Chain A
Amino acid sequence: MSADAAFERFVREQTPTLYRTAFLLTGNRHDAEELLQDTLARLYPKWERVMAADKPIAYVQRCVANRAVSRSRAPETRAESRWELPDRWDGSDVGETVAVSRTVWQLLGTLPPKQRAALVLRYFHDLPEGDVAAALGCRPASVRSLVSRGTAAMRTTFFAAPAATQGSRS
């Protein structure tokens, strides 16, 4: 299979997964699509190297996360973004559980990009600290620091907020 054919197959199969990652990292559809386009356009010329990775999807997800952090440093992309809720919400959740998830989601958007990326990779993708460190280009100790600071900031606000903010309907 040629690199181009492999690239097409990968994109068609993995776009939903990658899109979820990008959405969690950027917080909105528009930026998520841009982030994916940016990342894949950069990887396409060297797709043979991507195919050589143990898990290409994990490799690309790490690139997406890394790119999300890098883009947030670029002046032209430093403009504020909207933290959207997803268009579609699975029907499995009800009531306060959904409200809690949404509150946490909003709080995630207040974190610096690198902390946010660390939390997404750690808590959504369940990556070990070493992999998160590799994705973000930092030491595992730094990942622990990022995760610790991020969760601490969210936890403080989450539990300090009125009950309604946490989803209680009482």
Chain B
Amino acid sequence: MNQRAVPDEFDTVLHRALTDVGGAVHPDPGLADQLLANARSGRPVVASLATRRKAARWVLPLLAAASIVALSIGIAVVAGGRHHTPPLRQSTAPGPTGAPTTAAPTTGAPTTGAPTSAAPKPTALPHFRAGSVYFSDARHGWALGDARCGTGARTNCAALLATSDGGSSWRPLAVPKGLVSTLDPASCGTNGTVAGPCVDAVVFANPSDGYLWSLHELYWTTDGGRSWSRYVDHARQWTGASRLVVTDRAVVRIAPIAPCSAACPGVVETAPIGTTQWRSSMPTTRQVGLYTSNLAVADSKVYLFAGGTDANTGPGIYRSGDGARSWTLLARDACGASKDPQQDPFSGDGSTAADDGALVVTCAGSGSGSVRVAPPGSATFSPRRPYPPTGSIELKGARSEQHIVLADTADAYSGAHIRTTFYVTGDGGVHWRPTATLPVRGDGLQFTSGADGYAIGADRTELYTTHDGGTTWQATQFSG
């Protein structure tokens, strides 16, 4: 090409390049409808969209030579076929600002979600596998997972589905461009963006305002997932969260301060819903554990179960009624005092708030651990009540200090026979009763209340739903 494209021919090269690129660009199917609706409504489109923080930047003009060689080779291989080419990643690392320099994963439905109002008949994504589900109420839910990058593709890309009928049917939504598979263990978890930017959790405050996030990345939408913006914080290498919850008006997270894999401190931050205008909201001068803490929402209040770090034991349990702008200390040393951070029995990440505001605390100890409960408005805890002496118990939800749901997840994360056993109590943990053993995974298992629970099937193609605290479950396919 060097010999042919002499400077005098550059005009031809430029013309050809623009023709090639322009010819390869196709709008989303629902764009015309969206344009019409916005124009007719007189909506201040620019103002509303421009308020979003621009997440990306112009990629540097000259890419590394090796990247281009890889790009051209990859393109040559796939362009010979008649199916569309999934653009190759130009780098396995984020771009200069941390913004992914990759193109869209590919042509398939995962990247071409249309607005809900203009969506055609719901269609399933090929080979969709769920990694995380979130329901904001009994009808509206989202499933984050992966699917084939496009027709004929052999690789998987992040994909997002939404339901507005409780999971009976699902429709694809767009995802941010350049995301690797949600299930890629190299890039989700604490490893960093090894293969590329990755998100492994989804939360929506309402059908419009949602967040996709992992420890390293955070994206948000204000138009129901039609478009996404990436949160960029140049001061931090990891820009996501270990925990993130939403209320009607605020999004609250525990964010990493720096890359760290254990016993790390995090920072509690809050932002108005639909934004990423984070402001620090630390309830105490003591360190809050990044991985040892939990956030929960009950009755529009945010609860922080702050676990400890190497520097200090768990700072305590806090509640906020104003979207985490201020906190009230409810309890400290809920499992007993300890001077040694390594011996702190309080498990912040294993604790939660019941639907009525009762506190349900997990304490480490012999066996599977124990639970202590305190009624709403009180910080007077019950005696320790042991968990069922089996497996690996995780506290999953509670309707009150009496009605609590546990899951034995010893076989729920790996192995040939994925299964989870559920236990419930009606007397605050004095007695536990197994209710069901199901082929569902521990990851993605979520109780939005003490009654409503959602679990992902062993092969990630099914959703299991309960509305009676885990006693009975119904299975539906994500493929509809």
Residues of A with Cβ closer than 8 Å to B? 4, 7-8, 11-12, 15-16, 19-21, 23-24, 27-30, 33-34, 36-38, 40-41, 43-45, 71, 74, 76-77, 79-91, 93-110, 119-120, 123-124, 151, 154-155, 157-159, 161-169
Contacts and interface: CB of A to CB of B under 8 A. Distances in A.
Nearest to B87: A85
Main secondary structure of the interface of A (DSSP, over half): helix
B99 interface: yes
B46 A34 contact: yes
B79 A98 contact: yes
A155 B7 contact: yes
Interface string B296-327: 00000000000000000000000000000000
A113 to B, nearest CB: 11
B43 A41 contact: yes
B1 A151 contact: no
B5 interface: yes
Contact of B54 (A24, A74, A81, A119): A81
A109 B112 CA distance: 23
A84 to B, nearest CB: 5
Nearest to A34: B49
Contacts of B14: 104, 119, 123, 151, 154
Given A44-B40, A94-B79, A84 B177 contact: yes
Contact of B58 (A16, A33, A83, A120): A83
A15 B40 contact: no
Contacts of A77: 46, 50
B65 A91 contact: no
Interface string B434-472: 000000000000000000000000000000000000000
B139 to A, nearest CB: 28
A90 B20 CA distance: 8
B105 to A, nearest CB: 8
Contacts of A45: 42
Contacts of B50: 34, 74, 76-77
B106 A87 contact: yes
B27 interface: yes
The 5 closest A-B pairs by CB, nearest first: A82-B56, A80-B57, A99-B72, A79-B54, A104-B17
A93 B79 contact: yes
Given A86-B21, A168-B1, 18 more contacts: A11-B39, A19-B25, A24-B18, A33-B227, A34-B45, A37-B34, A37-B35, A37-B49, A85-B87, A85-B103, A98-B76, A102-B71, A102-B75, A106-B63, A110-B60, A120-B18, A124-B18, A167-B1
A37 B38 contact: yes
Interface in B361-390: none
Contact of A41 (B38, B53, B112): B38
Contacts of A20: 22-23, 25
Contacts of B154: none
B38 A165 contact: no
A8 B38 CA distance: 12
A112 to B, nearest CB: 11
29 contacts: A20-B25, A24-B25, A28-B56, A34-B45, A40-B35, A40-B39, A76-B51, A80-B58, A82-B101, A84-B103, A85-B103, A87-B84, A88-B85, A89-B79, A91-B83, A95-B76, A96-B1, A99-B71, A99-B75, A100-B1, A100-B13, A103-B17, A104-B18, A105-B20, A105-B21, A123-B11, A124-B15, A154-B14, A167-B68
Contact of A158 (B10, B63, B73, B75): B10
A105 B24 CA distance: 12
Contacts of B51: 76
Nearest to A4: B40
A11 B32 contact: yes
Contacts of B46: 34, 37-38, 41, 71, 77
Contacts of B58: 27, 80-83, 109-110
B41 to A, nearest CB: 9
Given A37-B49, A79-B53, A102-B71, A123 B79 contact: no
A41 B39 contact: yes
Given A82-B99, A83-B58, A165 B25 contact: no
A169 B22 contact: no
Nearest to A13: B32
B84 A91 contact: yes
Contacts of B71: 99, 102
A15 B22 contact: no
A15 B32 contact: yes
Nearest to B55: A82
A157 B61 CA distance: 9
Contact of A91 (B34, B59, B82): B82
B339 interface: no
B330 to A, nearest CB: 41
A16 to B, nearest CB: 6
Contact of A30 (B18, B80, B81, B227): B227
Contacts of B87: 85-87, 89
B20 A95 contact: no
B430 interface: no
Contacts of A84: 103-104, 177
A154 B10 contact: yes
A165 B69 CA distance: 7
